[in-house]
Amino acid sequence: MSQTEEFDKRNLEFIARGAADKSFLELTRQWFATANSHEYSYHFEWLSRPIIQYPQDIVALQELIWRIKPDLIIETGIAHGGSLILSASLLAMLDYCEAAVAGHTLNPRDTRRRVLGIDIDIRQHNRIAIEEHPLAHHIDMIQGSSIEPDVVTQVHGIARDHDRVLVILDSNHTHEHVLAELEAYAPLTSKESYCVVFDTVIEDMPENIFPDRPWGKGNNPKTAVREYLRRLDKEGRKAFDGDPLAFRADRIIEGKLLITVAPDGYLMRV
């Protein structure tokens, strides 16, 4: 076994041990509930745009995007644009590295790698800030509900021109909405890529922690993921590429993060 393989093997052993350590999990649960009471997820920026994510999930996305090397990232839920800029920055990095390895001169604007954001309400100040950002040339936006048939058709049309697609769902967190998003967009996920469903953690949090929101225990992205995977199992679905669609929650990602808003939500297409 090489030193790298030994390092990876030891890490996987420690990740599995951490993920099975009940007191570590309890500490994480307590930390999470406290962090939520301080609106922790609102306190970060990516290249100057507010991003509503935990830093741990941002690192996980970086690992995924580097591994998958997508040419299209579909994101529902834009808000201030931070997650779009995160995706765009990693797509720009992929372009840069590809050119460096091939010895090509890079023209940053001549890129096939795009991030497509969909939001029901793209506020004017956010739209301007995103459109004026130095990475805007990687970004397209659609305003409308992510489950509107017309929006879904537009996204499918765009996906047709791409080979490697990563899907990230982070808009309205009700069961019904996320289930409809999964039906609409999960089939666009390329083989060995992911459909990441954020805020599945709502199911694991104390009852009534979001009193002013329509979602909560029993009605959230995790219940939608369960129902969608059950449908795939029972009824089957075809992916965009024509092959049968199947996903598995990536336990290594959530095992190493522990602090994540997406437990059971890092869905790898298998």
Ligand X SMILES: C[S@@+](CC[C@H](N)C(=O)[O-])C[C@H]1O[C@@H](n2cnc3c(N)ncnc32)[C@H](O)[C@@H]1O
**Shortest approach of ligand X to residue 206 CB, angstroms?**
20
Q: Does 262 bind ligand X (CB under 6 A)?
A: no
CB 166 within 8 A of CB 65: yes
| Contact region with ligand X (CB under 6 A), list: 9-17, 87-95, 112-120, 247-255 | 112-120
Considering the complex, state which of residue 30 and residue 143 has its C-beta at the smaller distance from ligand X: 143
Label each residue of 58-79 as H, E or C.
Answer: HHHHHHHHHHHCCCEEEEECCC
Question: Which neighbouring-strand residues pair with 196?
Answer: 168, 266
Measured distance CA(91)–CA(85) in Å, rounded:
10
Q: Does 193 bind ligand X (CB under 6 A)?
A: no
Considering the complex, state which of residue 46 and residue 247 has its C-beta at the smaller distance from ligand X: 46
Considering the complex, state which of residue 173 and residue 269 has its C-beta at the smaller distance from ligand X: 173
| Contact region with ligand X (CB under 6 A), list: 99-107, 168-176, 226-234, 257-265 | 168-176
Residue 187 to residues 143, 158, 228, 249, 265: CA-CA distances in angstroms?
A: 21, 14, 11, 16, 15
Q: Does 170 bind ligand X (CB under 6 A)?
A: yes
**Shortest approach of ligand X to residue 122 CB, angstroms?**
8
Token pair listed for 92: 């720009």
Q: Does 89 bind ligand X (CB under 6 A)?
A: no
Q: Does 52 bind ligand X (CB under 6 A)?
A: yes
One residue of 87, 139, 141, 171 binding ligand X per CB under 6 A: 171
Considering the complex, state which of residue 15 and residue 130 has its C-beta at the smaller distance from ligand X: 130
Which long-range CB contacts under 8 A does 247-254 form with residues at least 24 apart? 247/186, 247/189, 247/195, 249/225, 250/194, 251/19, 252/12, 252/15, 253/60, 253/63, 253/64, 254/19
Mark residues 114-133: x for contact with ligand X by CB under 6 A, - for none. ----xxxx------------
Question: Which neighbouring-strand residues pair with 216?
Answer: 219
| Contact region with ligand X (CB under 6 A), list: 129-137, 164-172, 215-223, 260-268 | 164-172
Q: Kindly report the backbone phi and psi dihedral angles of residue 174, in degrees, each rounded to the nearest multiple of 5, phi listed first.
A: -75, 155
Positions in 61-80 near ligand X (CB under 6 A): 76-80
| Contact region with ligand X (CB under 6 A), list: 19-27, 108-116, 167-175, 244-252 | 167-175
- Of 240, 232, 205, 233, the residue nearest 221 (C-alpha): 205
Radius of gyration for the alpha carbons in the chain, expressed in angstroms and rounded? 19
**Shortest approach of ligand X to residue 25 CB, angstroms?**
25
Binding site for ligand X (CB under 6 A): 51-53, 76-80, 82-83, 118-121, 145-146, 170-172
